[in-house]
Amino acid sequence: MAIGAGQVSGTRAPRRPLGPPGQRMLLALLVSLLATIAVCVPLAYQARSARDGGDGGPATASTLPSTTDPTVPPSSAPPATTGSAPVQVLPTTVERTDHLSWASAEAPDDTQPLEGATLRGRVVVQMAPPAVEPPVVKAEFWIDPATATAPENVDDSAPFTLGQDDGAEVAPFDTTTLPDGPHTVAVKAVQADGSTVERSSRFQVDNG
């Protein structure tokens, strides 16, 4: 059919071919090769840098700087804090001697060794101050210390006695407060510097 002047045919003109088939295949191979190079080269460079410790790649776990300086000796590190000061352990000397004595309340000057004695009624139990320096400033008397939860008496002036001070020159102790049988009295003598000397004696109570 004839087409008039200025009119456009409704049928599109065929597209021009891109080129021979060989050129198109070559172009596709070239694009694929460039894409492969763009991906593989950076990966290979990073792998080599990580293996050789190079400066070009990102730092890995093996190349990160250590937080501990190996040139600093361990002794120069600051000491660990425990939150409280260490407790000082004071020296203690344990003796079992005749320094503990007893006497009846009616004759307090007639003293005898407490070790192995049999007591009844009201008695005076005292400790002769040990000849130590610095001097003893306090004495704690414990009866049967293995089971006691508190001292029987704490005396801060000589003569150091087991009985509670009731105004008398020497304070007596009532043995009827103890059951008949064997007992132990232990004394912790505290010196002026906090050191202690501990002494103990075994005795029997027989009040019938």
35 is written with which tokens? 């894409």
| Beta strand residue intervals within the chain, DSSP E | 92-95, 100-104, 112-113, 118-119, 122-127, 136-143, 153-155, 160-161, 173-174, 181-191, 196-205
Q: Which of 177, 145, 144 is nearest to 163 (CA)?
A: 177
Number of other residues whose CB lies within 10 A of the CB of residue 152: 19
pLDDT computed for residue 96 by the predictor: 45
Average of per-residue pLDDT across 122-126: 94
Query: Is 60 exceeded by the pLDDT of residue 10?
Result: no
Distances 21 to 14, 15, 18, 30, 168 between C-alpha atoms, Å: 18, 15, 9, 14, 131
| 60 vs 176, more confident | 176
Average of per-residue pLDDT across 26-55: 68
| 182 vs 8, more confident | 182
pLDDT computed for residue 125 by the predictor: 95
97 is written with which tokens? 């001697």
3-state secondary structure of 142: strand
Q: Supply the DSSP string of 47-102, one letter for each residue.
A: HHHHHHT-SSS---TTTSPPSS-TTS-GGGSPPPP-SSPPPP---EEEE-STTEEE
| 123 vs 53, more confident | 123
Given the structure tokens 């730092």, which residue do they identify? 59
Query: Is 60 exceeded by the pLDDT of residue 175?
Result: yes
Q: What whole-number distance in Å separates Cα of residue 119 and Cα of residue 7?
A: 146
Q: What percent of the chain is predicted at pLDDT more than 90? A: 39
| pTM for this model (two decimals) | 0.53
Least reliable range by pLDDT among 20-24, 32-36, 41-45, 52-56 = 52-56
Q: Which residues, at least 6 apart from 130, have a Cβ–Cβ distance to it below 8 Å?
A: 99, 136, 189, 197, 199
Residues 91-113 pLDDT 10s: 334 444 458 999 999 998 899 99
Query: Is 80 exceeded by the pLDDT of residue 120?
Result: yes
Residue spans of the domains in the chain: they are: 21-60, 92-205
Residues 41-96 pLDDT 10s: 666 666 666 565 544 444 444 334 444 444 444 444 444 444 443 333 333 344 44
Superfamily of domain 92-205 in the CATH hierarchy = Immunoglobulins (2.60.40.10)
| 81 vs 174, more confident | 174
158 is written with which tokens? 């000589």
